[in-house]
Structure 1
Amino acid sequence: MAAPKLYAGAKLREVRTRVGLTQKDFAAKLGVSLPYLNQMENNNRPVSTTVVLSLAQEFGLDVTELSSGDGERLVSDMREALADPAFSGDMPPMADLRLAASNAPALAHAFLDLHRVYRQTHERLASLDEALGREDARARPSPWEEVRDFFHYCDNYIDAVDRAAEHFASVDEQHRDIRAAAVSALANVGASITLADTDTLRHYDPNTLTLTISTRASQESQTFQMLLQVALLRQNKLLEATLDFARFQTEEARSIAKIGLANYFAGAAMMPYTRFLQAAQDTRHDLEQLATAFGASIEQVCHRLSTLQRPGAKGVPFFFVRVDQAGTITKRHSATRLQFARFGGACPLWNVHRAFEQPGQFLRQLAETPDGVRYISLALDVSKSGGRFGAPVRRYAIALGCEVTHASELVYADGMDITRAEAFEPIGISCRICERKTCHQRSVPPLERQLSVDPDTRGVLPYTVN
């Protein structure tokens, strides 16, 4: 399959603006004519190899940023939004969506915000009795969705927080006990730690400066919660500065994001970027070895692998997702071209759903999306005990994967026939925007297609997608 042409007009304009050059001077630096630069910045021409090399040599640009995946994420999100029954008529051509994502990303984000407000207003009207007469009945963005999109469009990598966590983990000897480091850091601000048999995983009392951690939690979860509290107490200025930059619309979103950033710090401190990246490469991303080496859970390791997108030192671009038994996505991130449904569940043909049937086993899958991109996916059940008899068990499954072009870097790809097209199972994003016509697991018709219904014939589906 031929490599796709690289259109990166928005990134070129961003670089030129950042260095304060006119188009004429910027074109001279890149060794191209002014009209040629203008065409590239407007995505009328692809970025040439010569320009890519000049960007790296003249401006020190990490060329992988030119194809960061932001455009694909926007295209995927817009397609899902446009599949809403509220939009009549045909789906806009993919070329138009890609043009909007490349040339007018701010407009694309505004469209997604507008659609989100529409959905929330529609849901409020469905429960009109509750909404009538309330001062807060006006449509507002969901805090959870706002925070989710913040991390989504940051590529799930927060540089300042990541580097602060790495510095924290390397203050003393290289292989220090990170749990002991957390205890010491809390003691330096006068806080003490108490382990107690309680349902509450973590509780901090600001009056007594006491952090209580549940003994029912695993050792890695206990350590993680200690580091999270370190972030809240020792890195508060950094977290607040990052939140100021994000400009959340509500205090609820800001509060949720702060916990998200503290979680990010905890994971990055347990698995410091440079050392973890090297270990991941050395073990060929063996999750069990990495979990043992860094005192982390498999889920924590998978989540951390999906954040290794530091400019100039990027790891394998992974997708990471967690689903519950109903198929609802509770965590999602993709540094690959694979994007997840913003609303609803994941494709039922994906192996993450089968993990519930075979707990404790790593399930491997070769999969192909409708755009022809092929992936290797690893799924695992990560159900979490309540810590005592009779306590409810939280059932989750996670999936980690990457494009098959990186298969040689994954120990889990060994023995899989990645050269045979028939080995790849067809998966999609969501039924409403999936282009596959004969999928036996389709729940609803694709909205951009015409249907034919023959009362005398019944196939896999009760209709035919034209």
Structure 2
Amino acid sequence: MGARKLYAGAKLRETRQKLGLTQKEFSAKLGISLPYLNQMENNNRPVSTAVVLNLAQEFGFDVTELATGDSERLVSDMREAMADPVLADAMPPLADLRLTASNAPALARAFLQLHRAYRQTHERLASLDEALGRDDARATPSPWDEVRDFFHYCDNYIDAVDRAAERFAAPVRHEENMRVRAVSALGNRGVTVQFRDMEALRLYDPAQRELALSLRAAPETQTFQLLLQVALLDQDKLLEATLDLARFQSEAARSIAKIGLANYFAGAAMMPYTRFLEAAEAERHDLEILAMRFGASVEQVAHRLSTLQRPGAKGVPFYFVRVDQAGTITKRHSATRLQFARYGGACPLWNVHQAFEMPGRFLRQLCETPDGVRYINLARDVSKPGGRWGAPVRRYAIALGCEVAHAGKLVFADGLDITNPRAFEPIGISCRICERERCHQRSVPPLERRLSIDVNARGTLPYEVS
């Protein structure tokens, strides 16, 4: 079988527009004819090897971005949206979805935004009939969904904020001194820091310029909250400029995103990009060693690993997810082809659910998604104690994974038989769009397939996928 042809017209056109070049100027620099460029930008012809090489040589372009753009994510998101019961009879062929994602990504995103608005309105009407006459009953995207999509389509990497955090951390030679650096930066702003026995993790009084942190929080959490406050005070202009570019549709979404960007700065300052990437590669991504070296929690380290997608200095493309005990996904980030269900819980065959049964242990899993891509997955529980007797314990589990092609770079892959196809467990994204016919954990039938029901026979499921 020959190599898969690369159709990346939208990405090629976006690159040209960012450079401020006309098609004529761009084609001349790439050494191709104007009609040929036009055909590639409209996906009438694949991007040739010569063009890929010229992009790298002429513009220093990271050519892997051509093949790892938004198309796969858009296809996954559209398939899930089309699996909604209201659209089940209108499911287009997969080839049509891929053409839409590659040729008309703006249209695909508009469709997803419309579907999100529909879902939110439907859920609001189902649970709050009295909302019909109120101003806030309009069909607008959820602020949480809007912010999640912002980070999702940025590959969870925000370059300007990441580099600002790295510059802030530059004077710190040893990570244990990061707390001192943060307190000093706040002191330069006239802010005093106090530690109190309180429920809240962080309380800032702008009038008195006092920051209070909880004595009950773990040291790495206290450091993170200090750096978050540094971001809100020292990096406010940068955060606001980034928010302006994002053009959120509501103030609520903008406020949530600002907290998200401040969180991003805090994590990037605790684990500065270059130093952290070098350490991760040297230690083969041993989460516990990295947590100890950078004064962070295992969850913070896992989250940071999923953000190492700086152009020209990319790390292993990881996905990161956190679920609660009900299986609901509370955090999700992916630099891989694996995408997570937007609605409902994670696939029950995923080992992240088993982590609750074995606290304090890393669980390894080789798995394969319906598209044939194989991954190595790591799961662990991350309980968050309340800090006093009787306080509720928040229990979560996290999963970190990458495609099995990167297994040699992970200490957790040692001893696993990655060459044995039978070692890979079948997992999916969402039952409604999963194509596996005989999954014993299926909760609902796949909406793309016909069902065969025999009243005289009963197997694992009360139907068969035909």
Shared fold, TM over 0.5: yes
Q: Which residue of 2 aligns with 1:321?
A: 321
1:215-364 → structure 2 map (5 Å cutoff): 215-364=215-364
Gaps of 5+ in 1: none
Q: Tell me if 1:208 matches 2:208.
A: yes
What is the one-letter code of the residue matched to 1:171?
P
What is the one-letter code of the residue matched to 1:435?
E
Q: Tell me if 1:134 matches 2:134.
A: yes
Secondary structure class of the residue paired with 2:390 = coil
Q: Which residue of 1 aligns with 2:449?
A: 449
Whether the aligned pair in 1 keeps the contact of 2:175 and 2:293 (CA below 8 Å) is no
What is the one-letter code of the residue matched to 1:462?
P
Number of paired residues? 466
| Cα deviation, residue 115, structure 1 | 0.4
Q: Which residue of 1 aligns with 2:45?
A: 45
The sequence identity of aligned pairs, in percent, is 77
Q: Which residue of 2 aligns with 1:463?
A: 463
Cα deviation digits, residues 159-196 of structure 1 (max 9, x gap): 00000000000035476711100010000001011111
Moved more, 433-442 or 29-38: 29-38
Q: Which residue of 2 aligns with 1:77?
A: 77
Q: 1:321 to 1:4 in 2, by over 3 A?
A: farther
Cα deviation digits, residues 297-329 of structure 1 (max 9, x gap): 000000000000001100000000000000000
- Inter-partner Cα distance in structure 2 for 1:165 and 1:88: 46
What is the one-letter code of the residue matched to 1:400?
L
Q: Which residue of 1 aligns with 2:396?
A: 396
Whether the aligned pair in 1 keeps the contact of 2:11 and 2:66 (CA below 8 Å) is yes
Cα deviation digits, residues 2-29 of structure 1 (max 9, x gap): 7543221111111222333333442332
| Cα deviation, residue 411, structure 1 | 0.5
- Inter-partner Cα distance in structure 2 for 1:372 and 1:3: 16
What is the one-letter code of the residue matched to 2:144?
W
Whether the aligned pair in 1 keeps the contact of 2:125 and 2:132 (CA below 8 Å) is no
- Inter-partner Cα distance in structure 1 for 2:176 and 2:219: 16
Secondary structure class of the residue paired with 2:330 = strand
Q: Which residue of 2 aligns with 1:150?
A: 150
Moved more, 407-416 or 19-28: 19-28
- Inter-partner Cα distance in structure 1 for 2:389 and 2:248: 41
Q: Which residue of 1 aligns with 2:102?
A: 102
| Cα deviation, residue 136, structure 1 | 1.9
TM-score (norm 2): 0.97
Secondary structure class of the residue paired with 2:213 = strand
Q: Which residue of 1 aligns with 2:413?
A: 413
| Cα deviation, residue 32, structure 1 | 3.0
Whether the aligned pair in 2 keeps the contact of 1:69 and 1:337 (CA below 8 Å) is no
- Inter-partner Cα distance in structure 1 for 2:150 and 2:71: 15
Q: Which residue of 2 aligns with 1:8?
A: 8
Whether the aligned pair in 1 keeps the contact of 2:323 and 2:397 (CA below 8 Å) is yes
Moved more, 433-442 or 61-70: 61-70
Secondary structure class of the residue paired with 1:89 = helix
| Cα deviation, residue 95, structure 1 | 1.1
- Inter-partner Cα distance in structure 1 for 2:43 and 2:343: 30
Whether the aligned pair in 1 keeps the contact of 2:176 and 2:294 (CA below 8 Å) is no
- Inter-partner Cα distance in structure 2 for 1:45 and 1:161: 37
Q: Tell me if 1:191 matches 2:191.
A: yes
Gaps of 5+ in 2: none
| Cα deviation, residue 343, structure 1 | 1.0
What is the one-letter code of the residue matched to 1:417?
D
- Inter-partner Cα distance in structure 1 for 2:237 and 2:290: 31
What is the one-letter code of the residue matched to 1:57?
Q
CA RMSD between the two structures? 1.4
What is the one-letter code of the residue matched to 2:159?
D
Q: Tell me if 1:113 matches 2:100.
A: no
Moved more, 240-249 or 89-98: 89-98
TM-score (norm 1): 0.97
- Inter-partner Cα distance in structure 1 for 2:460 and 2:44: 43
- Inter-partner Cα distance in structure 2 for 1:456 and 1:69: 49
Cα deviation digits, residues 79-114 of structure 1 (max 9, x gap): 000000111425211111111111111110100010
Secondary structure class of the residue paired with 2:376 = strand
Secondary structure class of the residue paired with 1:285 = coil
Moved more, 6-15 or 86-95: 86-95
What is the one-letter code of the residue matched to 2:272?
P
Whether the aligned pair in 2 keeps the contact of 1:367 and 1:426 (CA below 8 Å) is yes
- Inter-partner Cα distance in structure 2 for 1:264 and 1:287: 19
- Inter-partner Cα distance in structure 2 for 1:121 and 1:177: 49
What is the one-letter code of the residue matched to 2:385?
S
| Cα deviation, residue 294, structure 1 | 0.2
- Inter-partner Cα distance in structure 1 for 2:2 and 2:403: 15
Whether the aligned pair in 1 keeps the contact of 2:175 and 2:270 (CA below 8 Å) is no
Moved more, 25-34 or 401-410: 25-34
What is the one-letter code of the residue matched to 2:419?
T
Whether the aligned pair in 2 keeps the contact of 1:417 and 1:423 (CA below 8 Å) is yes
Whether the aligned pair in 1 keeps the contact of 2:428 and 2:434 (CA below 8 Å) is yes
- Inter-partner Cα distance in structure 2 for 1:223 and 1:88: 48
Q: Tell me if 1:21 matches 2:13.
A: no
| Cα deviation, residue 38, structure 1 | 2.5
